[in-house]
A and B are shown apart, each in its own frame.
Chain A
């Protein structure tokens, strides 16, 4: 039933595949992760805000996800 442009998913898959191939085995050792452990580099610090944005976007936009959300779809809220 998806009638999206075939070019977009194909090119997206290619870019994703290339990114995964070139980065698949990169290892950053624990000693090198000081900068990665700061709050601004940590996606989990946004969890509460993402839930709120999910709530608003589910009520006002047809898109979904991006925050890892199930979403509803009726727009009743």
Chain B
């Protein structure tokens, strides 16, 4: 959600327009399918000095039963579907060289309630050639577990906390409160009339239950998944956009490095090429390479544990921590992707279609090739945006 704040603080070509975006996202891998429709509306009242926005997102997640330990293809007998609803509201203001923003997000599903607030400010410098931004977010979530036999919802405080001691109120080790404090600093600069650079530094500190209450059945050495109750993470990322002179090309290299207190380090290289194929038709091709090391939970198992593609679990030698989360192991992935954007100005001059002016239609497809138990995945999206 904060991406909206950080990126919205930067100048947009469509700023000053009221806009609605309807979007359908799709994700599919061997055992999970996600359908995610969303609608986002932003209006200026009366101009960019005050902008209000709201969004609604529905997540329909169909999975093979986690507790069964199987990875049946979606559509099998043990598939369950979970629904998540998310609403958010945001307010932004551009006052001279300053942009200020704030937002609130509320999300609910059967076993997880998430709430988040964030605030951000940015300042334009050097005739708006440079933008410096700072954002802070606070998430405060409540984690629950649906009992397999009774379907009763009970608070979950983490695998290391006795379920009888776990409360659904208050804070601390006997509470199901999951908190995240997050700070991001952003620097964006037009270094040349054809070159834009951007750097971001982010730090997040989370406290509370961070293990999955349903994965215990997949760990022979422990009854439950046992992750630490606190985690500190940092991320450094940089990107640039270069419009190649006398061509319709924009080249966009991206890189991100993260490290955390669970000893996981990640690298993501994500170069993209944008091509204006026709006056109102843009094409973007991307290739992303992602690599991560294993967490400390898996280091006692020898060198970086590689998921064998069928099952995954590891634990510390003293038994204090155990996991069946493929994200805790080492793996890498390759993601090629393509996106087409049709700017509807192309047909807005047709009689009766003037309302399409400023609108666009976007289609995106990414294919993830990865070495862990999740297997290869497909990500797609269709979006329509209209100015009004």
A residues engaging B (CB < 8 A)?
1-4, 8, 12, 16, 19-20, 23, 25-30, 32-56, 60-77
Write the chain B residue with the least CB distance to A35: B243
Secondary structure call for the B interface? strand
Complex interface: chain B residues within 8 A of A62 (CB) = 258, 260, 262, 264, 266, 292, 295, 327-328
CB under 8 Å from chain A, chain B span 1-34: 1-8, 10-13, 21, 23, 25, 27
Q: Closest Cβ of chain A: how far from B337's Cβ, in Å? A: 10
User: Which residue from A40, A44, A45, A64 sits with its C-beta under 8 Å from B233?
Assistant: A64
- On chain B, the number of residues with a Cβ less than 8 Å from chain A's Cβ atoms is 107
Contact A29 B127 (CB under 8 A): yes
Contact A48 B191 (CB under 8 A): no
Contact B241 A48 (CB under 8 A): no
Contact A54 B129 (CB under 8 A): no
Complex interface: chain B residues within 8 A of A43 (CB) = 7, 10, 188, 196, 198, 239, 241
B residues engaging A (CB < 8 A)?
1-8, 10-13, 21, 23, 25, 27, 36, 40, 59, 61, 84, 109, 111-112, 114, 116, 118, 126-129, 135, 137, 139, 141, 143, 178, 180, 182, 184, 186-194, 196-200, 202, 204, 206, 209-213, 227, 231-239, 241, 243, 250, 254, 256-266, 268, 274, 276, 282, 284, 290, 292, 295, 325, 327-328, 333, 341, 343, 364, 374, 377, 379, 381, 383
Contact A68 B5 (CB under 8 A): yes
27 A-B pairs with CB atoms under 8 Å apart are: A12-B236, A26-B192, A28-B127, A38-B243, A41-B243, A41-B250, A43-B7, A43-B241, A44-B11, A46-B7, A49-B364, A50-B3, A56-B379, A61-B333, A62-B258, A62-B266, A63-B264, A63-B268, A64-B202, A65-B200, A65-B258, A68-B135, A68-B184, A68-B186, A69-B3, A73-B231, A74-B227
Complex interface: chain A residues within 8 A of B206 (CB) = 72-73
Complex interface: chain A residues within 8 A of B381 (CB) = 49, 52
Contact A75 B212 (CB under 8 A): yes
User: Which residue from A26, A40, A54, A75 sits with its C-beta under 8 Å from B282?
Assistant: A40
Contact B235 A26 (CB under 8 A): no
